[in-house]
Amino acid sequence: MKILVKYKLIIIAFFVAIGFFSCKKDAQQLIDLSGLSIVNASPSKENLDVYVDNTKVTSTDFSFGSKIDYLTAYSGRRNITITRKNSQGALKTEPFILEPQYGYSLFIINTFPDIKLRLLQDNLTKPLKGKASVRFANFSPDSEPLTLSVQNNPALITNISFENYSTAILIDFGDKVTFEVRDHKTGVLIAILTNVKIEEGKIYTIYVNGLKSAKDETKLGVAIYTHK
The residue ranges of every structural domain in the chain are 1-122, 126-228
**Prediction pTM value:** 0.87
CB 166 within 8 A of CB 204: no
**Dihedral of CA 181/134/195/36: which sign?**
positive
CB 165 within 8 A of CB 136: yes
Average pLDDT for 133-159 = 97
Q: Between 3.50.50.60, 2.60.40.2890, 1.10.15.40, 3.20.20.100, what CATH number should domain 126-228 receive? A: 2.60.40.2890
- Does the pLDDT of residue 47 top 90, yes or no? yes
**pLDDT > 90: percent of the chain:** 84
Minimal CA–CA distance to 49: which of 68, 21, 22, 26? Answer: 68
Q: Which amino acid is at 216?
A: D
CATH node for 1-122: 2.60.40
**Same fold yes or no, 1-122 and 126-228:** yes
Q: Which amino acid is at 43?
A: P
Distance between CA atoms of 103 and 106, rounded to whole angstroms? Answer: 10
- DSSP symbol at 45: S
**69-128 tens-digit pLDDT:** 999 999 999 999 999 999 989 999 999 999 999 999 999 999 998 999 999 999 999 999
